[in-house]
């Protein structure tokens, strides 16, 4: 629903950026441990590399970027996005068996969705949220 009289030319969220210290290590984590697809891995200008991962079938991607002193971005801290799952308990069990470490489950699903935080190899903290059941 759009109550604004201003035209919106934005059609979707394309990319979110996550700073990592080692793109190869990040690919191994996001692809091999979380099961995301590696969408792009190519040279980008001189000495730079553009890497994108995404859940299978997703339109939006996570661009795994390296630190840039001019932007002041460093790995670690709260990720600027969350991920979603249909079954939080099953996801935690499966991903934990692959070596992903989760914190406590938060929320009760009514109205706050159930969620749990995990940390990637660079200390980026990401929240995995259970999609609310269709009502």
Q: Which two tokens stand for residue 126?
A: 């990401």
Over pLDDT 90: what percentage of the chain? 75
4 pLDDT above the threshold of 70 = no
- pTM (two decimals): 0.88
- Of 15, 83, 79, nearest in space to 51 by CA: 15
- pLDDT value at residue 102: 97
Q: Give me the chain's average pLDDT, please.
A: 92
Contacts of 67 (CB under 8 A, 6+ apart): 19, 21, 73, 74, 75
Euclidean distance between CA atoms 6 and 10, whole angstroms: 12
Burial of 18 (0-12, 13-18, 19+ CB in 10 A): buried
Domains and CATH numbers, the chain: 15-130 (3.10.180.10)
What is the C-alpha separation between 83 and 95, in angstroms, rounded? 13
Q: What is the pLDDT at residue 107?
A: 93
pLDDT digits (tens, 9 = 90+) for 46-86: 889 999 999 999 999 999 999 988 888 899 999 999 999 99
Q: What is the pLDDT of residue 11?
A: 85
Q: Looking at the predicted structure, is the pLDDT value of residue 3 above 80?
A: no
Query: Quick one: pLDDT at residue 103?
Result: 96
Classify burial at 11, counting beta carbons within 10 Å of its beta carbon; exposed 0-12, middle 13-18, buried 19 or more: exposed
């Amino acid at each position: 629903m759009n109550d604004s009289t201003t035209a919106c030319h934005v059609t979707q969220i394309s990319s979110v950026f996550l700073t990592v210290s080692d793109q190869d290590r990040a690919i191994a984590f996001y692809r091999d441990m979380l099961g995301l697809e590696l969408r792009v891995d190519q040279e980008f200008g001189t000495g730079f590399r553009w890497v994108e991962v995404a859940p299978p079938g997703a339109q939006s991607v996570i661009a795994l970027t390296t630190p840039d002193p001019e932007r002041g971005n460093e790995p670690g801290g709260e990720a600027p996005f969350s991920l979603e799952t249909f079954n939080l308990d099953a996801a935690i069990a499966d991903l934990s068996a692959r070596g992903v470490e989760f914190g406590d489950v938060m929320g009760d699903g009514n109205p706050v969705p159930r969620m749990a935080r995990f940390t990637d190899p660079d200390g980026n903290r990401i929240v995995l949220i259970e999609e609310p059941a269709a009502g």
